[in-house]
Amino acid sequence: MSERQALQQLPKAAFGQVISAEANYVRVNISHLDASAAADSSPEATSSSGSSSSSSPSSSQDEDAEQLLHSRHASNSQASSSSSSSSSHVPPPRTQLLCTVRALLKKINQRVLVGDRVRVHGIDWLEGRGVVESVQPRSSELADPAIANVGHVLLLFGLTQPPFEPQQVSRFLVSLGASGLPVTLALNKCDLLPESEVTLRLQQVASWGYHAVAVSCETGQGLNEVAQALQGAVSVVAGPSGAGKSSLINALRMGRHKPEAAGLVGAAVAAAEAAGADEQDCEESDQAADGYTGSSSIEQQQQQHASPSAAADPARSFLAVGDVSKIGRGRHTTRTVTLIELPFGGLMADTPGFNQPTLDRVASADLARLFPEFNAAVEAQGGCRFADCMHLAEPGCAVTAAELERHEHYVKFLAEIKAREEYDVRVMQLAKQRREGALKVVSGRGGVARYEARLDQKHRITSRRRQKQQLWDDSTEEQQE
């Protein structure tokens, strides 16, 4: 049986993970075939139960197809007795598919994010195409950057070019800290500053309650410590544009942050070079053994995304990096979120840079706990006087008494979050009024129901308790000003 016929016998559905998304297309890494689709598509499932002799030719054809596919993936091969039960053990002939998203998912506002585990159906194995039919439940989801099912966050900032901005760093720490995922903080471009300035910046971050790693993609400093934090995990690197996120991934994967740069030294670099050489040898032997060509353009794209050594020219596997602008800002070289395999184990998502991550998923009541130095100050002072202290101007507040550096960042973030929450409340109230209408039912004497006009809040009489509370709020604002 030819390989084309063998591919046609395969099930048309499989499971995988989205590794990149752009415009209306997503690229899916296929992990395994769908056993239920294999059972439905097998000739034995469609034949009658009483005719065993008529099903034997089709079963033999399926076994031939499986043997051909097993020969291409000898390391993962295991023969099965029946086609329907063994199809789930057959490795997929393609590791990646270029897919569109089912229109129904768009109608129900189901976004397909990078990192999602999806079911792909209607697969054309020859052309490497398919349709994302459904999205499996997510273990985690981030808004900025938009990615799902990650277990670790690497925050990367530049010590210079672009300059280190404490408020921007605090905003990233708060936004991503609200997700509950472990965060590793790295400060890049430490080779461009004197060691004394780097030490002062590390001490500043340590006073916030975080451990930061000084990294240099040019010299290789700190790469081993970052590699240990990323090993075996699905991570995402986030930070402002120009911080060096793509350069860091290049250094971890290729041993240098760009093709023309000098090679680095370190355990992480040695693992990258060894893994790259092994993958290149394996892929060359597989291609020589099977002789399958398929669609050349799709195959080339798959090789470029699969591993750093997939292409003949190593420079093609480097992520694009750009120089900062004349004013020391990033140029937004990376424009899409992409999951990339690391040579020492794990996946890393390269993301576009942005300066202001959203705080939409942070509640005003939870903001203070996202500042580790606030929690330490409260514990050291035995707590604030009031249990619901917002750490603004309340008497007996342990945070304001400590005079912490990031307290002004907290005040700005809290004002922004409260403004958003008040806006959300007004929107909900307007929606409720539209649902209920302009009249309300009131029970009178004898249980007789009658309709009355529903008054707006401005027509109601304000209670004395509310008036006193308003006076207290106004006086607090005047003291802060």
Express each pLDDT in 81-123 by its tens digit: 333 344 445 678 888 899 999 988 888 888 999 999 999 998 9
pLDDT at 139 > cutoff 60: yes
Q: 306 and 344 share a domain?
A: yes
Q: 169 and 122 share a domain?
A: no
Q: 225 and 260 share a domain?
A: yes
CATH of the domain at 224: 3.40.50.300
Q: How many CB atoms lie within 10 A of CB 121?
A: 17
Band of residue 274 on the pLDDT scale cut at 50, 70, 90: low
Looking at 37-51, 123-137, 165-179, 244-258, which range is the least confident one? 37-51
Q: 41 and 66 share a domain?
A: yes
Q: 335 and 371 share a domain?
A: no
Last residue of a domain, one of 121, 136, 151: 136
CATH of the domain at 78: 2.40.50.140
Is position 430 within any domain? yes
**Nearest-angstrom CA–CA distance, 227 and 441:** 66
Q: 299 and 342 share a domain?
A: yes
Q: Tokens standing for 326?
A: 């004349």
Q: How many CB atoms lie within 10 A of CB 33?
A: 22
CATH of the domain at 383: 1.10.40.50
Last residue of a domain, one of 116, 136, 156: 136
CA angle 166, 169, 175 (to 5 degrees): 140
- Residue 195 · residue 221 · CB < 8 Å: no
Is position 356 within any domain? no
- Residue 352 · residue 236 · CB < 8 Å: no
Q: 63 and 208 share a domain?
A: no
pLDDT at 368: 94
Q: How many structural domains comprise the chain?
A: 3
Is position 359 within any domain? no
Is position 445 within any domain? yes
Greatest distance between any 2 Cα atoms in the chain:
92
Q: 378 and 420 share a domain?
A: yes
Q: What is the mean pLDDT of residues 232-246?
A: 88
Looking at 164-168, 268-272, 342-346, 409-413, which range is the least confident one? 268-272
Q: What is the mean pLDDT of residues 457-461?
A: 63
CA atoms within 13 A on the CB side of 206: 8
User: 């280190």: which residue's tokens?
Assistant: 164
pLDDT at 6: 73
Q: 260 and 125 share a domain?
A: no
Rg of the Cα atoms in the chain: 29
Is position 355 within any domain? no
Q: 83 and 186 share a domain?
A: no
pLDDT at 316: 41
Range of the domain at 206: 142-350
pLDDT at 170 > cutoff 90: yes
Higher pLDDT, 39 or 203: 203
Band of residue 149 on the pLDDT scale cut at 50, 70, 90: very high
Q: 315 and 211 share a domain?
A: yes
pLDDT at 213: 94
Band of residue 71 on the pLDDT scale cut at 50, 70, 90: very low
Q: How many CB atoms lie within 10 A of CB 313?
A: 8
Last residue of a domain, one of 114, 136, 158: 136
Looking at 54-68, 94-108, 211-225, which range is the least confident one? 54-68
**Nearest-angstrom CA–CA distance, 37 and 87:** 9
Is position 302 within any domain? yes
- Tens digits of residue pLDDT in 307-358: 333 333 333 476 766 555 554 555 556 668 888 888 888 898 888 877 788 8
Task: Express as a percent the part of the chain with pLDDT over 90.
Answer: 35
Q: Tokens standing for 187?
A: 């400060």
Q: 107 and 148 share a domain?
A: no
